[in-house]
Amino acid sequence: METRICSFFLGAILIGASNFAFAQADNRASVQNVIEPDLKRRDINESNIDTEDFEIGLFAGVISIEDFSSSSLVGARLTYHVNEDFFVEANYGQATAGETSFELLSGGAPFLTEEEREYSFYDLSLGYNLNGEVFFSPNWVFNSATYFTVGAGSTEFGGDNRFTVSVGAGYRLLLTDYFAVHVGVKDHIFNSEIIGEEKTTHNIEYGLGATFFF
């Protein structure tokens, strides 16, 4: 009950304040119009420009973990755009590995414990944009970029952290200046000895993402 009363008052105050702000804005506009338009110009400096070089977002998809079937994947991404062509990004993702064909068919003892099946990774990558535009109709145009990334990081799987190289490609569609949707593919390459001999494994991720520039 108390919270309801509180939120009611909060609502009332906010509306009151916004109406007041409206009224003020109206007044100012009309006064300006009467006296002289464009009386005061705001000068440009470094601090009063909204700079949007960072991009943050979430992604979700499927990762095919070599020998351990495919699993759903969720992750987060932070990107810094150095210039129109290059960017650097940090990714973190996690998934839960499934079972190997052997485990499924033999019905025997599992290779990994539940905890060891937790698959998580991070990587730091350098990316390169091929900027472009897409025309859904003559007046419905969005900026976009096809990008390629290469990076290094670590994958925790099977109880160990493994040095991982990642190579990826993606497509960024900017629905507004600051909101983008992504679709991408990335190969996470690391050495693993989980099912016997050490070998290089390729773990391919497909994902969809959404990011905000800030």
Partner 1 sequence: MMAKWIALIGLVLMIKVANAEEQFPEVQIVEPYIDMRTGPAQGYPIFHVAEKGEWISILKRRTSWFKVRTVKGKEGWVSLDELRLTVSSVGEPVQIEDGSFSSYQQRDFELGASGGSLDGVPSLSVFGAWVVTENIAAEVSYSQALGDFSESQFGLLSVTHTTFPEWRISPYFRLGFGQIKTKPRASLVQSGEETRTNDLLVGGIGVRYYLAQNFVVKFEYQNLLALTERDENEELEEWKLGFAVFF
Shortest distance (Å) from residue 111 CB to partner 1: 12
Q: Which is nearer to partner 1, 75 or 158 (CB)?
A: 158
Q: Which is nearer to partner 1, 60 or 133 (CB)?
A: 133
8 Å CB contact between 70 and 43: no
Shortest distance (Å) from residue 153 CB to partner 1: 7
Shortest distance (Å) from residue 187 CB to partner 1: 17
Shortest distance (Å) from residue 77 CB to partner 1: 15
8 Å CB contact between 177 and 213: yes
Q: Which is nearer to partner 1, 83 or 137 (CB)?
A: 83
Neighbouring residues of 212: CB distance < 8 A, sequence distance ≥ 6:
55, 56, 57, 178, 179, 180
Query: At 116, phi and psi to the nearest 5?
Result: -70, -20
Instruction: For Cα atoms 37, 43, 46, give the angle at the middle one, nearest 5 degrees.
Output: 150
Q: How far is 182 from 184, CA to CA, in rounded Å?
A: 6
Q: Which is nearer to partner 1, 51 or 106 (CB)?
A: 51
Applying CB under 8 A, the residues found at the interface with partner 1 are 4-5, 7-8, 10-15, 17-18, 21-22, 25, 38, 41-46, 48-53, 80-85, 88, 116, 124, 129, 131-133, 141, 143, 152-154, 158-163, 177, 191, 193, 198, 213
8 Å CB contact between 48 and 66: no
Q: Which is nearer to partner 1, 13 or 74 (CB)?
A: 13
**In this structure, what token pair is assigned to residue 138?**
């003559």
